Amino acid sequence: MRLLILMLCCLSSACATGVPAMQDRIDALMAGYDGDGPGAALLVVRDGATVVRKGYGLADIDNAVAVTPTTRFRLASVSKQFTATAVLLLAEDGTLSLDDPLRRWLPSLPPATADITLHHALVHASGLVDYEDLLPDGLDRQLRDADVLRLLEAQDHLYFVPGSAYRYSNSGYALLALVVERASGLSFPAFLQARTFAPLDMAGAVAFVEGASVVADRAYGHSRVDGRWLRTDQSPTSAVLGDGGIHASIDELARWDAALHDDRLLRDATRTQAFTPHIATGEADVDGYGYGIRVHGAGRQRLLWHSGETIGFRNVMLRWPERRLTVVLLSNRNAPRPYALARRIAALFDDDTQD
């Protein structure tokens, strides 16, 4: 008995091997986010249980507000899986079909877009012109999704024939948010609240619209400029919702992750369709793009993931569904990109997550 107690004590303090306890190892990896600079929130879910849930550094430098698990970050392109899910919910309702021409719902688009389907927009195979390349010099206001439509109405050409190639398209996802509004009769934020956030108890998650909604426990984006951290929370494209406008915490993303394992939100067949690599991308660690998600590997090594980058924020969400392992790292700073670090953290829990 004495020997057993001694072994347990050593294991709990990791003194038997000299290896730090798991949380100590994670804290060492996350040290760059700790302290009095902009920080990060880290979530690790294994076998349906949250095993790491911690904030580092500051959500708001100006007011010295610490990051916590309830801090809400702008997800940037991690939002695309929510936009895709909104379209898929309407497809399950029978309100629309993924084979619908985009112009069925947005008839003001020019003739060149006639062959683009909702499926093409979901998998970045539309060929739509990048709206960020169309912004006028000296733009002094923020664009909305409807402004993206107006910009594209004047572009009667595409990068390629729809379905023939892949080109990551924020334009496509901004238009998909408008399709959700036209098909459902609700604003995009209201649809997400009614069909996703409320059913999953993601109470504070929001598709943020200035003056119409509030982000509680908000992290503000920062960028390193001349050796100092400056608040850089908004840009002219920050109000576009379909491609990256959702704010959420790691606690809320834990509920989102859980819903992607069963049919509480989408049917099994729909989730399979969403997580299928429909088109090759040529990107690192990506075998193909599904609906709002990147797919890499197969079987037990299948990784479903997405990064999110916008002014002042760098995020990533990694899911190995067959291993029941998820890592989410959200940060309110312009660097570094967190993908490699999230992979290192995942490797602490399962060596097979590495290629």
Question: Alpha-carbon distance 241 to 79, whole Å?
Answer: 8
Cβ atoms of 345 and 325 within 8 Å: the answer is no
In DSSP notation, 53-79 reads EEEESEEETTTTEEP-TT-BEE-GGGG
Q: Which of 130, 211, 141 is nearest to 173 (CA)?
A: 130
Asked if residues 314 and 333 have their Cβ atoms less than 8 Å apart, the reply is yes
Among residues 185, 175, 199, the alpha carbon closest in space to that of 100 is found at 175
CA 238 to chain centre: 14
Instruction: Write down the residue that tokens 């991690």 correspond to.
Output: 78
Is-catalytic flag, 77? yes
User: What's the rounded Cα separation, in Å, for the pair 310 and 245?
Assistant: 10
Tokens of 337: 């990109």
Q: Which of 12, 13, 77, 126 is catalytic?
A: 77
Catalytic residues: 77
